[in-house]
Amino acid sequence: MSEDNKDLVRRWVEEVFNRRNLDMCEEIIAREYIEHALAPFGHEEPGRVPGPEHMRRTVGWLVDQYPDMRFEIEDLISEHDRVACRIRSVGTNTGALNGVMPPTGKTIDAYQTHWFRIDGGKLAEHWATRDDLTAMLQLGLVAPPGPPQR
């Protein structure tokens, strides 16, 4: 069971995000999906969402900003109905950031963790922690701290 659950997350990364095979969402994402992660600058509260459609929108939102975005699984662990993974994400910002800020043309290379609950052989619940500060520093949206002002 644990390896099957890990395979689901591998397919989520490789098929859905890296290959942009959005038809795979129907196969691996539960219809009733609970999202705990709010997109940066998001306007919707997390909660119950229509799983496959939500995932297609999430991929579209990300790819609109970073068309060459790639995820690489660095760590993957599973126990019972939970899977946790640490992902390295690399992509160049050539689309409007969050649909409003002009593209920077800069590349991000940052980490994120994703936790999933598996139910009925599908991804049913999701939590995420992203290193958005590193990405914003790399994009030049936030200035790194400097020496103290006197």
Which residue has tokens 């997350």?
9
pLDDT value for 56: 95
pLDDT value for 47: 85
Beta-sheet pairing, 122-130 with 29-35: parallel
Which residue has tokens 């995820």?
71
The whole-angstrom separation of Cα 76 and Cα 147 is 39
pLDDT value for 40: 55
pLDDT value for 144: 85
Which residue has tokens 């790399």?
138
pLDDT value for 38: 74
Along the 150 residues of the chain, how does pLDDT read in single tens digits? Answer: 689 999 999 999 999 999 999 999 999 999 999 999 876 545 566 788 899 999 999 999 999 999 999 999 999 999 999 999 999 999 999 999 988 899 999 999 999 999 999 999 999 999 999 999 999 999 999 988 888 766
The whole-angstrom separation of Cα 150 and Cα 148 is 6
The whole-angstrom separation of Cα 129 and Cα 145 is 22
The whole-angstrom separation of Cα 130 and Cα 106 is 18
DSSP 19: S
Residues in the chain, overall count: 150
Structural domains of the chain in order of their starting residue, each with its CATH number: 2-139 (3.10.450.50)
Which residue has tokens 């049913």?
124
